[in-house]
Structure 1
Amino acid sequence: MNYLVKAAAFAAVGSIAAPAIAQDYSWQPDRPINIIVPWSAGGSTDQVTRVVAPILEEALGTEVVVVNQPGASGSTGTAAALDAPRDGYTWTANAIANNATYAITGLVEDTSIEDYEIYLHVANVPVVSVNADSEYQSFDELLEAMRTGEVTVGTAGVNSSGGMALAAITEAVGGDLEGARMITYDGGNPAVIAAASGEVVATTQLAVEQTEMIRAGRLRPLTVLSDSPLEVEGIDPVPPITEFVPDFPVAADYFGVFIPKGAPDEVYETVDQVWQDHVMDSEELKAYANDRGAVFSPAYGQEALDKAMPVVIAEACARVTRGEAVIDPSEIGIDCPEEE
């Protein structure tokens, strides 16, 4: 199934028709639920949210409307979700590390991951790819060009998965990639299209955003930010970055939907049960993950927070190392390991 096409179709209509009968949960919503995706249509967050939304609709018996509200590395839509009435009808979706670090970079003030109930579904990995006509045939060649020349890299911004991936690569190789020039777009999908069209040389966005362009022969993947190869049907295995940078730190990048706290308890109790009943073993989400190079890894509540904390800590503390932090992570409950 082409989930990129499916996502674009959903973007045109906003949602699918609501089912007629809700299951017998303690919360019975009486109007549509909005999930604000703070990125443009077709990107990683948008894709998977449009797979999970119909699952939630069927269980809850009401429309679940996916609303794209991009801007400022995802912080515009995130702030809108936090500013909405805390009645259970406005959620947001993202990579959890983004929601946990917006305050650290000053993009969204006075917030932390503690502001949400957490519902995870997949983990994603960034891939470094170049335009199919690029002269660079290996990741080592691209790194050398980033050190000695100029390489434009399309991402969805400094706080996106692609932006953080580029920063992590730069840090891991000693910070000497002065020729890597990031060009930002409103989402991962436009950044990937820019690389595929030759508008930029490379992209570091997520595999789920790139697989269709790689299959079509418009992008050449050079490495995946993982310690094992990326294997997706129709694509040759993509070598892990640890083949090129052995000490590269790897932490799974978890995605999900997040409901701001402050709504009636029955909202969260109901969504917990819906997640358990319908998401934890969802064939639709498994198919999406297998097709696009994601990892099916659902969780909710404390289990979800525990699972995601390694990437939250890694990204929060990396903001300090890179000089991007305006507050110390400890102010929002994240303790960085001491440097040796």
Structure 2
Amino acid sequence: MKASAPFRFSKTRLAAMAAALACAALAAPAQAQSKYPSRPISLVVGYAAGGSTDKLARLVAQAMQDDLGQSVVVENRPGAAGNLGASAVALANPDGYTLFMATVSSHAINPWLYPKSGVDPLKSFEHVALVARYPLLMAATPNSGIKTPEEALTFLRNNPSGAFYSSAGVGSAGHLSGELFKLMGKVSMTHVAYKGGGPAMMGAMSGEVSVMFDPIPAMLPQVKAGKLTAIAVTSNLRSPALPDVPSLNEQALPGFDVTSWAGIVAPAKTAPEILQRLRASVARALDTPRVKATLQADGAQVSFLPGEQFRVFNQAEISRWGEVIRNAKISVQ
């Protein structure tokens, strides 16, 4: 029996196969990227669980995972007013699977207080989208007897060395609000920095501090339960969530206006198509009835700003808070 002749490829066939393999190789990354996300996404929060940023992140993460078809897991990395979490995300693989819930603290205040952190809010991240804005609340334990801004000022003037206030950490919006309150009210009180809004609230409810400042969303349940007394909101107007609570601007401190914000960012050099997928998901999440109703009830304002618009907003906030910090002579001790 004769052996069969060896099978030979013509030069034309070999060239065609080489071209097909090259096309397949080029198509592979695009095909893999088109499947994003193919595994769970981590949304890092730079504060302890239980605070306003954590609450907002979990609300948006749930809606996003319903849209993306993958889990969006909130990971708390508290410390340095959000700097620890921000640094970790800035150094993460820019593949869209590690995101950060940026805040006014981490991305507008910290650059002035921690200039050597190695994290640049504009260069170290890609801006996915701004999510929400909300005023802060000045509150105290009911046992303090402080119910109004005027009573708070009187108490502080009568206790110049024994008054303390808590916030989510050094450089947080609550910290800046307290320093502005001291500056404009010409009073003295010592800042006690906690690792998040949740622990700061515990300090206020237990009477460890005289008053506290933190965004409204996380504090509302404690106010409604009678565990905290709402004294005033920090925005220039009252909050729909607490219509009977005055603003510091209208009572005691004209011109006082502090509003916090939060948005999602990704490590620098994240692919544009991934960023676009995330922006679309954030937009759909913020448009769901549950998210809109929850934010409204919490006194937060849905504030979707995608990509470049969010970056420009962030840049303006850096300039604004730099001026406040210089005028108030705030520094990290």
**Could you say which residue in structure 2 is the equivalent of 1:66?**
74
Q: Matched residue of 1:121: which SS?
A: strand
Pairs within 5 Å for 1:248-267? 248-267=255-274
Establish whether residue 185 from structure 1 lines up as the match of residue 194 from structure 2: yes
Determine if contact 2:180/2:328 at 8 Å carries over to the other structure: no
**Could you say which residue in structure 2 is the equivalent of 1:213?**
222
Determine if contact 1:97/1:315 at 8 Å carries over to the other structure: no
Q: Matched residue of 2:191: which SS?
A: strand
CA change 1:319–1:236 in 2 (3 A) is closer
**Could you say which residue in structure 2 is the equivalent of 1:7?**
none
**Could you say which residue in structure 2 is the equivalent of 1:166?**
178
Which AA in structure 1 matches 2:245? V
Establish whether residue 283 from structure 1 lines up as the match of residue 289 from structure 2: yes
Distance 1:122 1:287 in 2: 13
Distance 1:79 1:158 in 2: 16
Distance 1:123 1:148 in 2: 35
Q: TM-score, normalised by structure 1?
A: 0.80
Structure 1: runs of 5 or more not aligned: 1-24, 327-340
Which AA in structure 1 matches 2:52? S
CA change 1:109–1:68 in 2 (3 A) is same
CA change 1:284–1:113 in 2 (3 A) is farther
Determine if contact 2:138/2:232 at 8 Å carries over to the other structure: yes
Determine if contact 1:251/1:310 at 8 Å carries over to the other structure: no
Distance 1:26 1:251 in 2: 41
2:275 to 255, 268, 275: 268
Question: C-alpha displacement at 1:124, in angstroms?
Answer: 1.5
Q: TM-score, normalised by structure 2?
A: 0.81
Distance 2:105 2:296 in 1: 23
Post-superposition, which runs of at least 4 consecutive aligned residues in structure 1 deviate over 6 A?
A: none
Pairs within 5 Å for 1:221-236? 221-232=230-241
Question: C-alpha displacement at 1:263, in angstroms?
Answer: 1.6
**Could you say which residue in structure 2 is the equivalent of 1:20?**
none
Distance 2:149 2:320 in 1: 23
Pairs within 5 Å for 1:74-223? 74-106=82-114, 108-116=117-125, 117-149=127-159, 150-173=162-185, 176-178=186-188, 180-223=189-232
Residues 180-237 of structure 1 show CA distances to partners (whole Å, capped at 9, x for unaligned) of 11112110011112212222221111111211111011111111011222232xx561
Question: C-alpha displacement at 1:88, in angstroms?
Answer: 1.7
Distance 1:298 1:37 in 2: 19
Determine if contact 1:45/1:93 at 8 Å carries over to the other structure: yes
Establish whether residue 318 from structure 1 lines up as the match of residue 328 from structure 2: no
Structure 2: runs of 5 or more not aligned: 1-32
Q: Matched residue of 2:204: which SS?
A: helix
Larger Rg: 2
Which AA in structure 2 matches 1:252? T
CA change 1:272–1:298 in 2 (3 A) is same
**Could you say which residue in structure 1 is the equivalent of 2:47?**
39
Q: Matched residue of 2:43: which SS?
A: strand
Tell me the percent identity: 24
Distance 1:120 1:282 in 2: 16
> What is the CA RMSD across the aligned residues, in angstroms?
2.2
**Could you say which residue in structure 2 is the equivalent of 1:3?**
none
Decide which moves more: 26-35 or 64-73: 26-35
Residues 72-112 of structure 1 show CA distances to partners (whole Å, capped at 9, x for unaligned) of 22211111111212222111113144223323212622412
Which AA in structure 1 matches 2:169? G
**Could you say which residue in structure 1 is the equivalent of 2:29?**
none
Decide which moves more: 26-35 or 301-310: 301-310
Distance 1:246 1:201 in 2: 19
Q: Matched residue of 1:205: which SS?
A: strand
Which AA in structure 1 matches 2:79? G
Aligned residues: 296
CA change 1:28–1:137 in 2 (3 A) is closer
CA change 1:102–1:236 in 2 (3 A) is closer
Distance 1:146 1:246 in 2: 14
Q: Matched residue of 1:74: which SS?
A: helix
Question: C-alpha displacement at 1:325, in angstroms?
Answer: 6.0
Determine if contact 1:37/1:70 at 8 Å carries over to the other structure: yes
Q: Matched residue of 1:126: which SS?
A: strand
Question: C-alpha displacement at 1:280, in angstroms?
Answer: 4.2
Distance 1:155 1:100 in 2: 17
**Could you say which residue in structure 2 is the equivalent of 1:292?**
298
**Could you say which residue in structure 1 is the equivalent of 2:60?**
52
